Amino acid sequence: MEKFIDRKYVIELFNTYQEYDGRVILNDISLRIRKGEFVTIVGPTGCGKSTMLRMVLGSEKPSKGIAAMDENLIKRPDRRRGIVFQKYSLFDFMSVRDNVMFGLELEQFSLADNYLRKIFPFIYRKKVKKFREEADHFLEKVGLLEHANKYPHQLSGGQRQRAAIAQAMIMKPQILLMDEPLGALDVGTREAMQIFIQELWGQTEQTILFITHDLEEAIFMGTRLIVLSQYYKDGGNSGSKIVEDIKIPWPQPRPTTIKHTKQFNDIMEGIRHSGLDPTYLKDINEFNIQHEDALCPVRKFGE
Amino acid sequence: MDPKNKLMNAVLWVRRLPRKTLETLRRLPRLVVEELSGIGKEFLEMIKNFYRLRTTPGKRISLLLSLILFLVFIKLYYNTSVERHAENSQDKLVPTGEQLWNGFRKTIFEVNIKEEYDVNGEAIKNDLPKTFREARKLDKQAIAEGKFRNRREAWINGSAREYLKQGESLLWQDTWASGKRILISMVFIFAGIYIGLFMGAFPYAEKVLYRFVLFFDKIPAIAVLPILFILFGLGETSKIALIVIGVAPTVILDTYLKVKEVHDEQIVKGMTLGASQPEIVFRIIFPQIIPKVLDTVRLNFKSVILFLIAGEALAAEAGIGYRIFVVRRYMDMATIFPYVVWISLLAFMVDMAFRSWISRQYQWLNK
């Protein structure tokens, strides 16, 4: 716990609501994420996990409440927050290396530079070489250096996601958002990627917000687990709330055998029952909000 | 493969050629038997599976089947031609092979001699040969007589070259006139790609342009041709305007739709990598859509030629469409046929060039 004392909050959400055409998706979400944390968010289908991520990203504005980063309001997606989607993270028309270099190029070259570069490549040779070296460094980190010259469609699903992670990480974002990045992968690749992302987190201390619909994955990977659910007492159609916010006890990196221990299964069963079961509805006072950064939901006056 | 290797391979291939040919000749009877029996097997297969949905026809029978309709067409033409010529040996509507060949020669190989006039308005006569073949004959004679030392000298100073200098072949003149119009209108059509790009990317530009372009797209371009002729006169402008009005809206709308198809994730991703607005348009959206848009331009090349011919048919001094419609008055099928073949061939070649360029330039498309 002492570790947290000198660390800042990166992302802060205060009493945010999100509604589309009068239908409430997110109901009074408050959340603070510290630097260096690996937060996983899990929830049933349609609970608004991705909506919350888009609010953090800035591609959607909350209809009520505040979403802030470094004490500034989040207005639009920018280079301080990286993202890895389930699909379409990579640009199909560039090789893997160019994809990873793309962020650096956008940062250093203006549009005019980009066209001049095609006519007079020798002016930019030095800079491009530097970018290339950095991109190769990141590609080596994700184990894709030998595939650097391939196009994304020539890679397998897992390799593509690794390239997407490298592409986002090269910008050194303050927080890396992942929207079900492993959702489309087969079981074996998925487990390998889970371990890979954990190791990467251990090496770089990159703050990560990881969204998944797989409870096992969520518990296995993160240091902090948030369960978002629309199933609570008087919930009806009033949108999702954070029903659990707990610290995951095991130190990282975790061996996969941990998934078969009793403690792991107990946590999983507990969350499955209290958070994801539509027939079991908890009262707002029974929510399992234990994490030290959590902001407790308040029962509103007169409710 | 590096070029040196390629060259070596070519040399080896050529050196191996005589032995290979001999070997093939030796094996020829057996090859013929094999081919014939193969065709027989595939034919039986075809009879068995003719009404099946999921079958794969053999290679040889596929080739034969795809040739059938062409052969039937040629045979029908030939029969009609023979019949009509039996009735009237001067028939022009269905020219025989010889007439067609003469037509080809006249339009393609013979130059259109420019006539020069003197002060009184009478044509100046020159004693130059009237056909290329005659000119070549004169040159050969000159070599035989010893006026020129070799063929190169004869070509430089001889009458064949003099003959060609008098003018250009009719076909070449017309192709150049039509080609200029197509090239200029292509510039406008390519500008249309950018209009479509902006329309798809910027919602305010979309509001301004979308309905207007949609409206223009629905106007049949041929119907506005008289208006164009009145507005722009009978010159080049009206013909180019016809092509642009006919084709550009399609290209603009297609580009617009392609831009709309770009996944939102890609744009958001670009923003998280620090791309500015113009960079999103020109470095993320544009490279994704351009090969597909070029494909649309390629497919619309047919309408470009259609509008070109329509414009030229009404008023022009040269051009492929113009020539076809002029000689139509004399029912000169022997000229029309080479022109039709030539313009189809041109369109096919342009199409092929576009296709190979796209597949070479945008290798990421070959999924």
pLDDT tens per residue across span A69-87: 988 999 999 889 999 999 8
Q: Is the pLDDT of residue A236 over 50?
A: yes
Scored b (16 or more CB within 10 A) or e, A22-53 reads eebbbbbbbbbbbbbbbbbbbbbeebbbbbbb
Which position has the higher pLDDT, B253 or B154? B253
User: What residues of chain A have any CB closer than 8 angstroms to a CB in chain B?
Assistant: 57, 59, 76-79, 81-83, 85, 87-89, 91-94, 102-103, 106-107, 111, 114, 151-153, 167-168, 171, 173
Name the residue among B263, B271, B274 with its Cβ closest to that of A88. Answer: B263
Domain boundary among B165, B184, B214: B165
Same domain? For B189 and B292 the reply is yes
Name the residue among B265, B275, B283 with its Cβ closest to that of A89. Answer: B265
Helix (H, G, I), strand (E, B) or coil at B149: coil
> How many domains is chain B built from?
3
Q: Is the pLDDT of residue B284 over 90?
A: yes
- The answer to whether residue B103 is domain-embedded is no
Same domain? For B343 and B195 the reply is yes
Name the residue among B276, B283, B288 with its Cβ closest to that of A92. Answer: B288
**Residues of chain A contacting residue B275, judged by C-beta atoms under 8 Å apart:** 106
Least confident of A35-49, B38-52, B204-218: A35-49
**Domain locations in chain A?**
1-80+175-303, 93-172
Name every residue whose Cβ is closer than 8 Å to that of residue B10 and which is 6 or more positions away in sequence: none
Q: Do A151 and B275 touch (CB under 8 A)?
A: no
User: Given this model, what pLDDT does residue B254 score?
Assistant: 95
Same domain? For B181 and B323 the reply is yes
Name every residue whose Cβ is closer than 8 Å to that of residue A259 and which is 6 or more positions away in sequence: A216, A220
Residue of B265, B271, B272, B363 to mutate for A, most A C-beta atoms under 10 A: B272
Q: Is the pLDDT of residue B196 over 70?
A: yes
- The answer to whether residue B151 is domain-embedded is yes
Which position has the higher pLDDT, A290 or B1? A290
Q: How many CB atoms lie within 10 A of CB A172?
A: 13
- The answer to whether residue B7 is domain-embedded is no
Same domain? For B222 and B311 the reply is yes
Average pLDDT over residues B18-46: 92
Which position has the higher pLDDT, B106 or A37? A37
Name the band, by pLDDT with cuts 50, 70 and 90, for residue A303.
very low
- The answer to whether residue B116 is domain-embedded is no
Main-chain phi, psi angles of A176, to 5 degrees: -105, 120
Closest Cα in chain B, distance from residue A98 (Å): 12
A245-301, pLDDT tens digit by residue?
Answer: 888 888 877 888 888 888 888 888 888 888 788 787 777 777 778 777 777 665 444
Same domain? For B301 and B182 the reply is yes
Structure tokens at B131: 């056909």
CATH no. for A1-80+175-303: 3.40.50.300
Name the band, by pLDDT with cuts 50, 70 and 90, for residue B192.
very high
Cα B224–B228–B234 angle (5° rounding)?
135
Least confident of A109-113, B142-146, B306-310: B142-146
Q: Do B274 and A57 touch (CB under 8 A)?
A: no
Same domain? For B326 and B186 the reply is yes
For chain A, what is the mean pLDDT? 86
By CB neighbour count within 10 A (0-12 exposed, 13-18 middle, 19+ buried), where does B237 fall?
middle
User: Given this model, what pLDDT does residue A302 score?
Assistant: 43
Residue B364 DSSP one-character state: G
> Phi-psi category of A92—alpha, beta or left, where left has phi over 0 and alpha has psi -120 to 50?
alpha
Structure tokens at B59: 């290679």
Same domain? For B228 and B299 the reply is yes
Q: Do A93 and B287 touch (CB under 8 A)?
A: yes
Helix (H, G, I), strand (E, B) or coil at B111: strand
Pick from A5, A51, A8: nearest CA to A32: A8
Closest Cα in chain B, distance from residue A239 (Å): 25
**Residues of chain A contacting residue B263, judged by C-beta atoms under 8 Å apart:** 87-88
Q: How many CB atoms lie within 10 A of CB A85?
A: 24
Same domain? For B140 and B253 the reply is no
Least confident of A14-23, A270-279, B26-35: A270-279
- The answer to whether residue B17 is domain-embedded is no
User: Given this model, what pLDDT does residue B125 score?
Assistant: 65
How far is the C-alpha of B121 from the C-alpha of A135, rounded, in Å?
A: 78
**Residues of chain B contacting residue A160, judged by C-beta atoms under 8 Å apart:** none
Instruction: Give the chain A residue nearest B362 (alpha carbons).
Output: A93
Q: The complex's ipTM?
A: 0.89
For chain B, what is the mean pLDDT? 88
Name every residue whose Cβ is closer than 8 Å to that of residue A50 and which is 6 or more positions away in sequence: A179, A180, A211
Question: Residues A127, A131, A134, A135: what is their CA dihedral angle, to the nearest 10 degrees?
Answer: -160
How far is CA A217 from each of CA A180, A222, A250, A264, A270, rounded to the nearest angstrom?
Answer: 11, 9, 14, 11, 15
User: Given this model, what pLDDT does residue A1 score?
Assistant: 46
User: Given this model, what pLDDT does residue A202 score?
Assistant: 86
Name the band, by pLDDT with cuts 50, 70 and 90, for residue A44.
confident
A144-179, pLDDT tens digit by residue?
Answer: 899 999 999 999 988 999 999 999 999 999 999 999
Q: Is the pLDDT of residue B42 over 90?
A: yes
User: Given this model, what pLDDT does residue B112 score?
Assistant: 66
Name the residue among B272, B283, B367 with its Cβ closest to that of A83. Answer: B272
User: Given this model, what pLDDT does residue A207 score?
Assistant: 92
Least confident of A187-201, A204-218, A285-299, B299-313: A285-299
Letter for the amino acid at B234? L
- The answer to whether residue B139 is domain-embedded is yes
Range of the domain at B70: 33-48+58-91
Name every residue whose Cβ is closer than 8 Å to that of residue B219 and which is 6 or more positions away in sequence: B245
User: Given this model, what pLDDT does residue A235 score?
Assistant: 60
In chain B, the percentage of residues whose pLDDT exceeds 70 is 95
Q: Is the pLDDT of residue B311 over 80?
A: yes
Least confident of B153-157, B181-185, B257-261: B153-157
For B248-265, give the secondary structure using H, E and C.
Answer: HHHHHHHHHHHHHHCCHH
**Residues of chain B contacting residue A77, judged by C-beta atoms under 8 Å apart:** 268, 271-272
How far is the C-alpha of A205 from the C-alpha of A37, rounded, in Å?
A: 8
- The answer to whether residue B106 is domain-embedded is no
Average pLDDT over residues B333-346: 87
Closest Cα in chain B, distance from residue A86 (Å): 10
Q: Do B265 and A57 touch (CB under 8 A)?
A: no
Alpha carbon B254 to chain centroid distance? Answer: 23
Name every residue whose Cβ is closer than 8 Å to that of residue B323 and which is 6 or more positions away in sequence: B170, B174, B335, B339
Average pLDDT over residues A207-228: 90
Instruction: Give the chain B residue nearest A150 (alpha carbons).
Output: B364
Same domain? For B160 and B244 the reply is no
User: Given this model, what pLDDT does residue A111 score?
Assistant: 87
User: Given this model, what pLDDT does residue A4 score?
Assistant: 59
Average pLDDT over residues A177-185: 89
Same domain? For B155 and B175 the reply is no
- The answer to whether residue B119 is domain-embedded is no
Q: Do B272 and A111 touch (CB under 8 A)?
A: no
User: Given this model, what pLDDT does residue A3 score?
Assistant: 59
Domain boundary among B110, B141, B165: B165
Same domain? For B142 and B180 the reply is no
Average pLDDT over residues A216-233: 87
Q: Is the pLDDT of residue B1 over 60?
A: no
Same domain? For B260 and B322 the reply is yes
